[in-house]
Amino acid sequence: MNHPHLFSPLEVGPYQLAHRLVMAPLTRMRAARPSLAPRPLNAEYYAQRATPGGLIIAEASPVIASGFGSPGVPGIYSQAQVEGWREVVDAVHAKGGVIFLQLWHVGRVSHSSFQPGGGLPVAPSAVPIPTDLKTMTADGRVTTYETPRALRTSEIAGLIEAFRSGARNALAAGFDGVEIHGANGYVIEQFLHSHTNLRTDQYGGSIENRVRFLMEVTEAVIAVWGAERVGVRLSPYGIANGSGEADPMPLYTHAIERLNPLHLAYLHFIEPRSSGAGRAEVNWQNVPSAMVLFRPIVKGVLISAGGFTGDIAEAAIAEGHADAIAFGRIFISNPDLPRRLQQGFPLTPYNRKTFYGGEAEGYTDYPTHDAMEPA
């Protein structure tokens, strides 16, 4: 067998995983319009990638209508969305898989065209994303980001409540757990980072204050699910969407030390080599490894994601740097990725042009290795 450590069992919360190869959350922009609910095509896509005892983390799903920054992304705040996700969950469970949903709010990584009433996106502070980064409007135009509106202190409790509500809806949809998206420059990371959080209230200033929003969201979600079925995703050295902390070690050490006593299902790190968050291939030479740096202080299960091959994943687990490895882009083009890595079968290259939006092409039409073999 190839990669014996990658294909050894692992306990994640109450679940006994058969292997340590996780499907990472991947935005694909193929929800139904205008409901933004998952549809049968989405259920087929996830079912294709489900394996007995394998963990899938479903794509980031906004917990409130103001949380969007991209078209065609599924939400988790309406009854139609809950029902659509239930079909996805049922399809994965029918294959014996375990599936968590990633809870999302993009904060300033949005545009007024996505906002109810056409208002400005909200963020911890009125700090715009640099103009060299572009966004897409709801009708598909490419433009620069707007300066977001700073959340009033009185509004923050409502945003936390939206995460709690999204967690309840994920429970109603039958998911096995949820992951809080605290990475890639979205709203939680905007609170964490000093250059996007200029607040002077209890949510800004000191590291303790900047971590407060993450902790309050996590505690709200735990109140719904129990800690053993909640994960948190972080990108300590990421630069996606204009993010980045000059010295991440003190900030993320504090955050991890605050999260450790909660006994979460897992922490999920994005390696710096994937800090482009899907916009482009990233040159990751001479960047630090989040899993290597923070593994000594993470007390529970650690999942790492970002540019892994089977061999690198095997080494990371064998050396104790991570407990499981999440694969993203290569899982898109190889629906049977676990089998291919375990058997040493060749991998199908992905087509970046079909990542976002569209129908079956580049989504459900990638064949398994067995289907490609002559009869």
In order of 98, 103, 132, 175, 180, the CA distances from 57 in angstroms are 9, 10, 31, 10, 11
Give Cβ neighbours of residue 255 (< 8 Å, ≥ 6 apart).
Answer: 192, 211, 214, 234
Point out the catalytic residue in the list 46, 77, 186, 356.
186
- pLDDT for position 272: 81
Which whole number is the average pLDDT over 158-185? 98
- pLDDT for position 63: 98
Query: What confidence tens digit (pLDDT) does each residue in 190-227 have?
Result: 999 999 999 999 999 999 999 999 999 999 999 999 99
Q: What letter does residue 302 receive in the DSSP assignment?
A: E
On whether the CB atoms of residues 235 and 289 are closer than 8 A, the answer is no
Q: Which amino acid does the sequence have at 358?
A: G
- At residue 54 the predicted structure's pLDDT band, cuts being 50, 70 and 90, is very high
- pLDDT for position 282: 44
- pLDDT for position 275: 47
Give yes or no for residue 81 having a pLDDT over 80: yes
Q: State how far the Cα of 285 lies from the Cα of 175, in Å rounded to an integer.
A: 37
- pLDDT for position 286: 59
Q: Which amino acid does the sequence have at 295?
A: R
Q: What's the first-to-final CA gap in the chain, in angstroms?
A: 24
Query: CB 343: neighbour CB atoms within 10 A?
Result: 11
Structure tokens at 263: 């006994």
Give yes or no for residue 372 having a pLDDT over 90: no
Query: What confidence tens digit (pLDDT) does each residue in 83-114 have?
Result: 999 999 999 999 999 999 999 999 999 999 99
Query: What confidence tens digit (pLDDT) does each residue in 115-139 have?
Result: 999 999 999 999 999 999 999 899 8
Q: State how far the Cα of 190 lies from the Cα of 213, in Å rounded to an integer.
A: 10
- pLDDT for position 238: 87
In order of 96, 115, 145, the CA distances from 54 in angstroms are 8, 36, 38
Give pTM, 2 decimals. Answer: 0.95
- pLDDT for position 285: 55
On average, the pLDDT of the chain sits at 94
On whether the CB atoms of residues 255 and 192 are closer than 8 A, the answer is yes
Which whole number is the average pLDDT over 221-247? 95
Q: State how far the Cα of 73 lies from the Cα of 109, in Å rounded to an integer.
A: 14
Say whether 186 is catalytic.
Answer: yes
Nearest 5°: the CA angle 288, 59, 345 is 70
Which whole number is the average pLDDT over 30-48? 98
On whether the CB atoms of residues 370 and 336 are closer than 8 A, the answer is yes
- Domains recognised in the chain with CATH numbers: 10-372 (3.20.20.70)
Number of residues in the chain: 375
Query: What confidence tens digit (pLDDT) does each residue in 246-296 have?
Result: 899 999 999 999 999 999 999 999 998 654 444 444 444 556 788 999 999
